[in-house]
Amino acid sequence: MNLRPRLPAALFGAALALSLTPATVSADTTQRPNILFIAVDDLRVNLGCYGDAQAITPNIDALAQTGTLFDRAYCQQAICSPSRSSLLTGQRPDTIQVYDLHTHFRKAAPDTVTLPEYFKQNGYRTQGIGKIYHWGVDDPQSWSVPISLVGDRVKTDRPRSGSYVTPHGIEVNEAVKAKPKTGPYAGYQWGLAYESQDIPDEEHGDGALTVAAVRTLGELAKNKDEPFFLAVGYLKPHLPFVAPSKYWDMYPPEDMDLSDFTDAPAGIPRIALTKSNELRTYAEIPKDGPLPLELQINLLRGYYACTSFIDAQVGLLIDALKKNGQWDNTIVILWGDHGFHLGDKTIWGKHTNFEEAVRAPLIIRTPDGTQGQVAEGLCEFVDVYPTLCALAGLDIPGNLAGVSLQPVMDDPAETVKAYAFSQYPRGPNIWGYTVRTDRYRYTVWEHLRDQIRIGVELYDHTTDPAETVNLAHNRDYADTVKELDQILDEQTPTAFPARQIIH
């Protein structure tokens, strides 16, 4: 499915020029801090350090206590490849023209210098293990050595199960029953949506990634004169929700609390919702309609079990840093590429502009920084690139879409931006553009080809943090809608260049 808006040539050229500005390179690597860059797939803010009493995540919680937790960090599009490509290039989806799972950002912006590539240019050894870019969208010039996608497999006679077969050959599930022939997941063979495995961590795919990462950290420790940028990308808690059984045991079914709000928001335009299509391509999941209560509980258990499993892997990485003597000179960043609906608003999955989909964890720890602080101001994933440059003492390229969050880390009461922007397509010509302010989320849905507005959403987070009632047509909020419309219009040239088609 082609989800690319048709940008006029002159407009696209102007946007592309921003992304091709040459970066300033600093060569001195003396005392440069290392970077451990941990990406977690589909991780929402259901973590102990974010206030979720149900989550058992002691290692991520401990990491947050050594650095800064960004409480309101937002991705630019709630799906893997656009979000990751945006963060790793420091550009918004409209600039790099990445909106789906398959388009490579270098097709539209071939000369873009990515975050790891920039660190490589500045004397860092850059290595990737696991899912950093999306599968099939890797970027070889980002890395000093070829990326390792599968980690170190532990030899076992036990048959592997619990994942899915994709065109990229990832894992095998013994119960493959569904193979959609059409739609965005065409050609994928999905197995069970959740599974408890009685296996050691290291026999699981993400456990194998940890084994490889720990080994790599040991190798990197042998050359203390060359700083490293090591990116480790975990697949869970992405579907299928598969984890070793000891993590499932942490979440008895009778203790699981489902979302308090499982209805669609009142007054919502239908186009804002999804039918949870990704989940419904798995075996034994109803193809339409509500999910049985027992199934929802098992899905929720699976998601939390996977989150705790990844938390354990993060703990092993931190332990390795400390064992190797690297902890005192390493910046650690942990982020989820986007959020995930867990039954709220009728949705299981991402692919929306709601708070649950675009808000995701972001934790940054520096060796000499303030510990255990929470930054409540708004920030975006395009801010990660300039932030890591600033923290490492590198010049910040002048072409990036974000800003450094270092002032916020120095003083969490500081704010560096008033708005966070995200977007999501509903086919090749229909787009939802959303702005998050300190108080509101405002979203417009527009048909670019026909140049018409399809729907509008407004949520007041002061009175309705779960976004249950659309206030866009409430007369009491008419002035607010007008003001937020103006903000979207003013920011469109840099945040959403494609949107200028209808303005």
The pLDDT, as a whole number, for residue 156 is 61
Asked whether the beta carbons of 74 and 379 are under 8 A apart, the reply is yes
pLDDT > 50? residue 162: no
Sequential DSSP letters for 179-232: ---SSTTTT-BB-BSEEEE-S-GGGSHHHHHHHHHHHHHHHHTT-TTS-EEEEE
pLDDT > 70? residue 55: yes
The pLDDT, as a whole number, for residue 136 is 82
Q: Rounded to an integer, what distance in angstroms lies between the CA atom of residue 440 and that of residue 460? A: 5
Q: Rounded to an integer, what distance in angstroms lies between the CA atom of residue 90 and that of residue 469? A: 33
Q: How many helices (H) and strands (E) does the chain have?
A: 14, 15
Alpha-carbon distances of 250 from 42, 155, 210, 302, 304, rounded to whole Å: 20, 27, 21, 11, 9
The pLDDT, as a whole number, for residue 399 is 94
Q: What is the mean pLDDT of the chain?
A: 88
pLDDT band at 29 (very low <50, low <70, confident <90, very high): low
pLDDT > 80? residue 300: yes
Marked catalytic residue, from 104, 134, 204, 341: 134
The residue-averaged pLDDT of 255-269 equals 94
The pLDDT, as a whole number, for residue 158 is 57
pLDDT in tens, 444-478: 999 988 889 999 999 999 999 999 999 999 999 99
All CATH 3.40.720.10 domain ranges in the chain, comma separated:
33-154+199-417
Triad 58, 382, 233: Cα angle to 5°: 45
Tell which wins on pLDDT, 182 or 97: 97
- In the chain, the largest separation of any two C-alpha atoms, in whole Å, equals 66
The pLDDT, as a whole number, for residue 186 is 53
Tell which wins on pLDDT, 234 or 181: 234
The residue-averaged pLDDT of 317-322 equals 98
The beta-carbon contacts of 488-496 under 8 Å, at least 24 apart in sequence, are 488/433, 488/435, 488/442, 488/444, 491/419, 491/421, 491/435, 492/433, 494/18, 494/92, 494/401, 495/92, 495/94, 495/421, 496/92, 496/94, 496/421, 496/423, 496/431, 496/433
Residues in contact with 326: Cβ distance below 8 Å, sequence separation at least 6, in sequence order = 34, 217, 220, 221, 320
pLDDT in tens, 187-212: 555 678 999 988 999 999 999 999 99
Q: Which tokens hold the place of 155?
A: 């030899």
The pLDDT, as a whole number, for residue 171 is 43
Count of other CB atoms within 10 angstroms of residue 144: 16
Q: Which CATH number fits domain 426-503: 1.10.150.120, 3.40.640.10, 3.30.1120.10, 3.40.50.300?
A: 3.30.1120.10
pLDDT > 80? residue 94: yes
pLDDT > 70? residue 5: no
**Residue 249 gets which letter from DSSP?**
T
Q: Which tokens hold the place of 205?
A: 């795919």
The pLDDT, as a whole number, for residue 181 is 52
168 is catalytic: no
pLDDT in tens, 324-365: 999 999 999 999 999 999 999 999 999 999 999 999 999 999
| Residue from 318, 361, 319, 320 nearest 339 by CA | 361
The residue-averaged pLDDT of 103-127 equals 97
Q: Is 371 exposed, middle or buried (0-12, 13-18, 19+ CB in 10 A)?
A: exposed
The pLDDT, as a whole number, for residue 197 is 85
134 is catalytic: yes
The pLDDT, as a whole number, for residue 150 is 80
pLDDT > 60? residue 172: no
Q: What three-state secondary structure class fits 458?
A: strand
The pLDDT, as a whole number, for residue 153 is 67
pLDDT in tens, 428-441: 889 999 999 999 99
Count of other CB atoms within 10 angstroms of residue 418: 12
Residues in contact with 17: Cβ distance below 8 Å, sequence separation at least 6, in sequence order = none
C-alpha 207: how far from its chain's center?
20
All CATH 3.30.1120.10 domain ranges in the chain, comma separated:
426-503
pLDDT > 80? residue 3: no
Alpha-carbon distances of 361 from 66, 74, 213, 235, 337, rounded to whole Å: 15, 9, 21, 15, 8
The pLDDT, as a whole number, for residue 345 is 96
The pLDDT, as a whole number, for residue 192 is 83
Marked catalytic residue, from 80, 306, 379, 389: 80
pLDDT band at 155 (very low <50, low <70, confident <90, very high): low
CATH number given to 33-154+199-417: 3.40.720.10
pLDDT > 70? residue 394: yes
The pLDDT, as a whole number, for residue 187 is 52
pLDDT band at 370 (very low <50, low <70, confident <90, very high): confident
**Residues β-bridged to residue 68:** 364, 373
**Residue % of the chain over a pLDDT of 90:** 78
The pLDDT, as a whole number, for residue 141 is 96
Q: Which amino acid is at 319?
A: D
The residue-averaged pLDDT of 305-322 equals 98
Distance linking the first and last C-alpha atoms of the chain: 26
pLDDT > 70? residue 227: yes
The pLDDT, as a whole number, for residue 427 is 84
